[in-house]
Amino acid sequence: MKKVALIFAVICLAIFTMSYSILMTNGIAGQTGSPGETNCHVCHNSNPINTAGGSISTNAPNLYICNTTYHISVTVSRANCVEFGFGLEALQTSGENAGTLVITNPTETQIKTATIGGNVRNNVVHYSFGGATLNSHTFTFDWIAPSSVVGAVTFYIAGNAGDGISGPSIGDYIYTSSKVILPSLIGINDFSFNNYAIEIYPNPTTESCVLNYNLASNSKVAVELISLNGQLVRSYLNQEEKAGNQSHTLAFDQSIAKGVYFISLNINGTKHIQKIVVE
């Protein structure tokens, strides 16, 4: 009888250990799938990455304003899973940290670091027992945007959904995602939210585009091409214009590299910005 009881205890302990394979382990930095990194699938590799039936997502903004605090959430989902973990980095194109990650729920998340390519990268990762909910879990923290424009920022994310039964070698599912956040310039208005009937076409473009707008009164107008780093690439126009419909062709010669830019239309001191892709 004692032998049977001992065997039963060992089995229960094994099941308990498998059930809490994620929960009892803190997240590991440097596993988000960003440039130079692997992801959680290195250890939890029994199922293909991004297997149908689950997902990972974030509410990260499309644009950032310098020194602004954003309340970020990351949700990892998969039906019938009961334990969830994740890791996230916010990086510049150089591979360095972009902005500051701030822990707002210390029972669920923490900051860890990993050195990749000479860069010490800060990661938000799950804490032990931080993601114990059924079907999905949402982790929350803050991100303070960089103090100056650093160009595009990419959030790299990897998440783990575990069924709590089969253990990490069978019942864990890894999901990955990324999101590019572009800089927003102070005092701008999006073209779709103004009274100037502004339009740009074609977009994407190769050699040139047409900029149309309407002025209700005589105005001081400047048109510029701005890089993702907020640097002036080309000045097209800086003059007084009379009221009425205006149309200008903006050329992109070979000195302008392919990529993503902003067209800035400054009307009487107010900037109106739209992204344009040069192919």
Let me know: does 267 contact 215? Beta carbons within 8 Å.
Answer: yes
Hey, what's the torsion of the CAs at 237, 239, 243, 248, to 10 degrees?
-20
131-167 tens-digit pLDDT: 999 999 999 999 999 988 788 899 999 999 998 776 6
E strand spans, the chain: 54-58, 63-64, 69-78, 83-91, 100-102, 109-116, 119-126, 136-144, 153-162, 172-183, 188-190, 199-201, 208-215, 219-226, 232-241, 244-251, 259-267, 270-278
The whole-number pLDDT of residue 76 equals 98
What is the rounded CA–CA span in Å between residue 26 and residue 127? 5
Rg of the chain, C-alpha, whole Å: 25
CA distance 152 to 182: 5
From-to residues of CATH 2.60.40.10 in the chain: 2-183
Q: Which pLDDT value is given to residue 185? A: 59
Cβ atoms of 159 and 138 closer than 8 Å? no
Whole-number pLDDT of residue 9: 41
Distance CA 154, CA 60 (A): 10
pLDDT of 63? 83
User: In this predicted structure, what is the pLDDT of residue 166?
Assistant: 67
Question: Residue 192's pLDDT is what?
Answer: 55
Angle of CA points 128, 102, 71, to nearest 5°: 100
Q: Facing residues of 89 across strands?
A: 156
Contact 87, 158 (CB under 8 A): yes
Residues of the chain with pLDDT under 70: 1-25, 166-169, 185-194, 229-230
Instruction: Name the pairing type of β-strands 83-91 and 63-64.
Output: unpaired
Q: Which CATH number among 2.60.40.10, 1.20.58.2030, 1.10.150.120, 3.40.50.300 corresponds to the domain 2-183?
A: 2.60.40.10
First-to-last C-alpha distance (Å) of the chain = 76
Q: Where in the chain is the domain with CATH 2.60.40.1930?
A: 188-278
Query: Number of C-alpha atoms within 13 angstroms, CB side, residue 279?
Result: 5
- Cα(155)–Cα(56) distance, rounded to whole angstroms? 12
Structure tokens at 45: 């590799």
The predicted pLDDT at position 167 comes to 62
Global pTM exceeds 0.75: no
Residue 260: its pLDDT value, please? 86
CB 176 within 8 A of CB 50: yes
Among 11, 24, 12, smallest CA distance to 83 is for 24
CATH number of the domain at 188-278, out of 2.60.40.1930, 3.40.50.300, 1.10.357.10, 3.40.1190.20? Answer: 2.60.40.1930
Rounded Cα distance between 107 and 104, Å, is: 9
